Amino acid sequence: MQWEKKSIPLKDIMLDSENPRLGPHNQSSDVAALAYLVQHENVIGLARNIAAYKNLYPHESIICIPIEDEKYIVVEGNRRVAACKLLCKPYLIGGAGNESEIPKIDEQTRESISSLHACIADSRPTADEIIAKLHIDEFGKLSWNTRKKIRYVESRLRFGNDVEALAENLGVSTRNLYKLKAFGRIFTYVYSMLKWSPKEQDVIWDDAVDLDIMFYVLTNNVISSHFGHVLFSDAGEINHDFPDKDEVCKRIVQHTLISQRLNIDYRYTRNTAVRDLNSPWNCRHPITYKVRQGVYDAQESFYR
């Protein structure tokens, strides 16, 4: 298709409720989306940059799709649109922050951002190909973190696409999409099938927490070598033959994920060798597995 380029009044641009930056509880309205972006995506810092330059940078066109009544949804550029909305109407920050944090702008800046240059896609699938190349493809220059990539892929698979078709439509590798789909299944198992305290749940849903460390360990070959079983398959399915799978999985999540925010007896970081996790299991939390026939013995201290 030929992409249409036009200037759209800021008041006619809605934030995208399907934006992968948003957590699942912040997609109900423009107000909720704006609050989330302010609190978690440094929109105020971006607003300061826009105010200093007195406009968006010339090369930064947003991408929109049309909806009813000559309104548009921004599908690429939500942070920029949110920042411009705050600069023009600081009261929109509501309970997400303090109006005094938002820089005051002069009339030149207000006029510059009252309408935004946009590329118009005729539908979300049309826009998706560009968005995926920017944020999902492993060589994308604006790559999202793993949590946001998972949300994006899961939302697109819900439209009825399979991975092969989605990869072709988006122009990204099937290997990358299969991995993200598997990670989504692992994350679903972690938060829905294991028991967590309220504080631990907050950490699991914290967008600033690094999920990559957890996925790396849960799917690492060292787990299979140490315990005699894989914990998750390549497709992200839990191995029900893994002895006491939930206890082991929970302990790994605590060491790799929960420990990023809460005080845990052992913390695994990006600079830790996976086999070093054997140390807390063998020493401070000793565990001995008899791989044959899946029978195991574990000292009780492992579970405390």
Same domain, 90 and 169: no
What pLDDT sits at residue 227? 84
What pLDDT sits at residue 27? 62
What pLDDT sits at residue 295? 32
Same domain, 103 and 203: no
Among the candidates 122, 138, 155, a domain finishes at: 122
What pLDDT sits at residue 57? 87
What pLDDT sits at residue 21? 83
CA atoms within 13 A on the CB side of 57: 6
Same domain, 104 and 199: no
Same domain, 71 and 159: no
* Its pTM surpasses 0.75: no
Per-residue pLDDT 10s for the chain (304 aa) are 568 999 999 999 999 988 888 876 566 688 889 999 999 889 999 999 999 999 998 888 999 999 988 999 999 999 999 999 999 999 999 988 899 999 999 999 999 999 999 999 999 989 998 898 888 876 565 678 899 999 999 988 887 778 998 888 888 889 999 999 999 999 999 999 999 999 999 999 998 899 999 999 999 988 888 888 999 999 999 999 998 999 999 999 999 999 999 988 778 776 666 665 554 454 333 333 332 233 333 333 232 2
Count of residues in the chain: 304
Same domain, 157 and 241: no
Same domain, 182 and 222: no
Same domain, 104 and 201: no
Range(s) of the domain holding residue 252: 194-303
Same domain, 117 and 134: no
Q: What is the CATH number of the domain that holds 30?
A: 3.90.1530
CA atoms within 13 A on the CB side of 107: 0
Domain tally, the chain: 3
What pLDDT sits at residue 291? 28
